[in-house]
Amino acid sequence: MKHENGFTLLEVLIAIAIFGIAFAVVLMILTAVSTASLTSGRQEGFEQVKNNLAVEFSNSVRWAKDVQVGGTTLTVDGLPYTLNSGRITKDGQPITPANITVTDFSVGQYSTVPGYSSVKIIIGLADTNLATITDSEKIVVSQRILSFEEGSTP
């Protein structure tokens, strides 16, 4: 009987099957990690947009001389904030990024005192590319009352 070096067909097929299974497992792990990373990155983007909007509205309303509220429009010192084609605009210029769609922009009075206004703003957000990623923000901000009388010291 002649002894030949090499692998039988069965051994080669078993090795291919083992490598195929290992490749499939590695591919599933990489897909899961990549999806988690993408979702996490989108959530971080949402948090940044929410923070930027909170700062924008807080600073604008807090230091405004005149605040007008009307359903889906907030006017601060003559500059209107509105929802236009899925983006919040300030005086016609977008203040939200194009990759995030604003699904809700509701503005209402939170409390009213003459010369003083508290505004409640509700904003719904959705990812433009991944419809499963959504978030919302509720902002309540009040105007500051600054009045000084002549001859008085603070």
> How much is the pLDDT for 43?
81
Give the residue from 109, 130, 136 showing the smallest Cα distance to 54: 136
Q: Which residues of the chain register pLDDT less than 70?
A: 1-3, 112, 115-116, 145-154
CA-to-CA dists, residue 83 to 11, 74, 93, 144, 147, angstroms? 66, 10, 11, 26, 33
pTM, rounded to two decimals: 0.72
CA distance 109 to 6: 83
Give the tokens for residue 43. 């959530």
What's the pLDDT at 46? 81
- All residues at 6 or more sequence positions from 104 whose CB lies less than 8 Å from its CB, including other chains: 122, 123, 124, 136
- Counting every residue written for the chain, the total comes to 154
β-strand partners of 83:
88
What pLDDT is recorded for position 101? 92
61 CB-contact burial (10 Å; exposed 0-12 / middle 13-18 / buried 19+): buried
User: φ, ψ for residue 36 (rounded to 5)?
Assistant: -65, -40
pLDDT of residue 149: 58
